[in-house]
Amino acid sequence: MPRKSSSRSRNGSPSRRGRIWRLLGAGGWVLTGLVLAGVAVGAVYVHQLDREIRERFEGQRWALPARVYARPLELYAGRPLTAAALETELRALNYRETPDAAGPGEFHIDGSRARLTTRPFVFGDDPEPAHSVRLRLANGRVQSVSDLSSGRNVDLMRVEPLLIGSIYPTHGEDRILVDIDEVPRELIVALLAIEDRRFMSHRGLDPVGIGRAMVANLRAGRTVQGGSTLTQQLVKNFYLTHDQTLTRKLNEAVMALLLEHRYDKREILEAYLNEVFLGQAGERAIHGFGQAAHFYYQRPLNELRLDQLALLVGLARGASYYDPRRFPERARQRRDRVLQAMADTGLAERERVDRALATELDVSPVMPGGRSRFPAFLDLVRRELRADYADEDLRSEGLRIFTTMDPVVQLRLEERLVRGVDQVVRQRGQDGRLEGLQAAAVVTDPQSGEVLGVVGDRDPRYPGFNRAVEAQRQVGSVLKPFVYLAALTNPHRYTLATLLDDSPLTLQLPHGEPWTPRNFDREHRGPVTAWESLVQSYNVATVRLAEDIGVSQLIGLLQTLGLQRNPAPLPSLALGAIELSPLEVAGLYQALANGGYATGTRVIRDVLDQNDEVLSHYGLALQGAVADGSVRVLTHALHDVTREGTGRRIDTRLNGQVVAGKTGTTSNFRDSWFAGFDDRHVAVVWLGMDDNRATGLTGGVSAAPVWAEIMAGIGVQSLRLEGHPGIDYRGVDLASGLRVDNDDHACEAVKTLPFWQNSGPERRAECDLSHDPSQQGWFERLFR
């Protein structure tokens, strides 16, 4: 019989394709379409994940905060510096005092000699290497700087600047990026030993590690070990949420494989070192080992010991759970487990591990806050930056901002302001009326215009209202020196010996109302010299002088010296009826301290991007000038303010050192001021109430002693008043303003005053002539 046809294949097996079609019929087409669609969707899904990985990993990975630094300490022979100031600055930088000062961030001071080893730092102009040097100090100056190893003199070196604050991203993450080549080998060894021993061999997922973790967890009856690789942990932290869902786990696995396919192990490990979460400080999240080193030990990562590195590695498993400040015993157990893993795997010598295990936790007991230690100064920096930079750039571009702050001046300003104000409250506020007394102060370098220190609150750490910048208060008599300066610029019409009228005065204001200025003691003295009027702060005589020279001329002088306002030309301006901040007052007084040259104030030197390229440089800007001879004459009188005038308490506190300045007290004792200067610094102090209540304090009994306390703290450099080629000195009878030549005279009060451009009085005083008739000449007799 003929054989029937068969649906078998040539080798005798049935056709699978035919069977499928018979079983499914038309539905087979549908299933095939679904399978193909699933493959396509999967391909699109993987492609999308791959694209997301590349965009984030190859672009800007992190929003980096702007770092704000103080000025660096420059060391060279001849620089003004005491051993105490050097120690203050080094301790602010968290340097450790050791016998040999051989390691980075170490110092040793022995009397007038010091040794220190600095840390390397990249400035905008040039990288500064680490230095190991010997300093010799004497008479308040650096006498020599020499290299410890070679003994050669070092002409100039810079100590790394103090980080004074940061401007954080809106999401609150804080990190200091580290390059994997700069990370201590022990940290990487510890990380791989405890977190991912097969990191160098797996391709993103580690089946062996997953199996080992499953066994360990089953034996313990709870989760005691994780199976995630470092790559998976990076993906979870960098790209994904922490939701415990199947979708998230699937994404994590696929993205880990993609990440390993696209990038090498060094890149992945470096990203992990900078991304891992290692602590929390309020709203500020600590990410990466670079920032964690400062957060827990206040030192750079490369200066940490093995036990310290092991603790940071241990925190990667759970920074909150193992927080060494809250749970020290738990943290130590975790640290010891990391160290033991290093020994067990042969990645660290047993002897080193044993020494590290015996070491106590030495985490810094004080958690470094996210807020700056110097909130008023940082606030001033941000205000100046807003003119050139968007807020988002400051929060995300990793800018480095180098400022003018002198850490020693800032710290001593804070300390002495608090001490001085507390003393004022103890002495003069027994009845409770000074409760709530506030204060602000500014210190600048008048030659450069650089702001060296700022305090905006009686509590210098309080980050609220910055009174040094924001408080607009009437300045009172601190403005009077500029009235006299406006007059003294015309020396052949006005001198310190010029007689002014201090008798009662009433003026008609532009709107028709009368105004009667009064002296502080409500007394009138008739004719007084300009010197006496300024030194004793007489109001009526000052107003008359301003009217004589013209209030508009006073305004022009103030604007020449840096005033950025246009006040109304009212006679009350002569008595300080204008609202200024302490910073603005400091700007005006800089011109007096600087021989008549107005430099303006500035708080920023340079702004660098994260690649150390200079974006902005803020240099000295000359705003205007007046004749230096008139300023020098005025400075003599302002020095007398501190010796025998309204600020005479200063002379006692500073032991006769030569400084100059002026007190200020506003109506109803609402504001107390002192503004003054020595040869290196301008300082301004304000005291008052935020609600404008009366304090009962004058500038002479409150702000002036606080100012003296501050200057004593930062170190006074006496003014050199003599030696101006255009100035000579003559004795003057204060009753008549005329010349006194003889030491043996009959005048009641004689004062030696400076005169510019031969402008001294030509006539001799009656009390001098009458006491020495033989000296009378025909010229003197002619004018008697």
Q: What per-residue confidence (pLDDT) applies to 202?
A: 83
> For residue 65, how many other CB atoms are within 10 A of its CB?
25
- Give yes or no for residue 747 having a pLDDT over 70: yes
Mean pLDDT of the chain: 87
Q: Give the number of C-alpha atoms closer than 13 A to the C-alpha of residue 696, restricted to the C-beta side.
A: 11
Residue 159 vs residues 400, 706, 737: alpha-carbon distances, Å: 17, 31, 55
Least confident residue range of 131-140, 245-254, 623-632: 245-254
Q: CB neighbours of 392 closer than 8 A, spacing ≥ 6?
A: none
Q: What per-residue confidence (pLDDT) applies to 7?
A: 42
443, 409 Cβ separation under 8 angstroms: yes
Residue 88 vs residues 102, 158, 654: alpha-carbon distances, Å: 19, 16, 22
Tell me the whole-structure pTM to 2 decimals: 0.84
Local confidence band at 209 (pLDDT 50, 70, 90 cut-offs): low
Least confident residue range of 202-211, 265-274, 667-676: 202-211
- Helix (H) or strand (E) holding 395, with range, is helix 391-396
Least confident residue range of 170-174, 572-576, 627-631: 170-174
Q: What per-residue confidence (pLDDT) applies to 397?
A: 82
Q: Give the number of C-alpha atoms closer than 13 A to the C-alpha of residue 549, restricted to the C-beta side.
A: 26
| Angle CA 219–225–228, to nearest 5 | 135
- Give yes or no for residue 32 having a pLDDT over 70: no
Better pLDDT: 171 or 220: 171
- Give yes or no for residue 213 having a pLDDT over 60: no
Local confidence band at 315 (pLDDT 50, 70, 90 cut-offs): very high
For 331, the 3-state DSSP assignment is: helix
- Give yes or no for residue 332 having a pLDDT over 90: yes
Better pLDDT: 658 or 235: 658
Mean pLDDT value across residues 598-625: 90
Residue with tokens 């000449």: 777
> For residue 712, how many other CB atoms are within 10 A of its CB?
17
Q: What per-residue confidence (pLDDT) applies to 5?
A: 43
195 included as an active-site residue: yes
CA nearest neighbour of 676 among 428, 542, 414, 477: 477
Looking at the DSSP bridge assignments, the partners of residue 784 are: none
Q: Could you report the per-residue pLDDT of 535-590, keeping only the tens digit for each?
A: 999 999 999 999 999 999 999 999 999 999 999 999 999 999 999 999 999 999 99
Better pLDDT: 44 or 658: 658
Separation CA 468–CA 585 (nearest Å):
10
Q: What per-residue confidence (pLDDT) applies to 370?
A: 59
- Give yes or no for residue 779 having a pLDDT over 50: no
Greatest pairwise CA separation for the chain in angstroms:
173
How many residues appear in the chain?
784
Active-site option among 132, 166, 372, 477: 477
Separation CA 734–CA 490 (nearest Å):
21
Looking at the DSSP bridge assignments, the partners of residue 73 are: 159
Better pLDDT: 226 or 686: 686
Q: Could you report the per-residue pLDDT of 449-498, keeping only the tens digit for each?
A: 999 999 999 999 998 899 999 999 999 999 999 999 999 999 999 999 99
Separation CA 588–CA 475 (nearest Å):
12
- Give yes or no for residue 719 having a pLDDT over 80: yes
Looking at the DSSP bridge assignments, the partners of residue 445 are: 450
Mean pLDDT value across residues 117-126: 86
DSSP state string for 614-680: EEEE------EE--HHHHHHHHHHHHHHHHHSTTTHHHHHTTT---EEEEEE-GGG-EEEEEEE-SS
Q: What per-residue confidence (pLDDT) applies to 57?
A: 64
CA 752 to chain CA centroid, nearest Å:
44
Q: CB neighbours of 139 closer than 8 A, spacing ≥ 6?
A: none
Better pLDDT: 473 or 16: 473
Active-site option among 195, 275, 397, 584: 195
Q: What per-residue confidence (pLDDT) applies to 473?
A: 96
Mean pLDDT value across residues 348-365: 90
Residue type, 300: P
Q: What per-residue confidence (pLDDT) applies to 611?
A: 84
Q: Give the number of C-alpha atoms closer than 13 A to the C-alpha of residue 604, restricted to the C-beta side.
A: 25
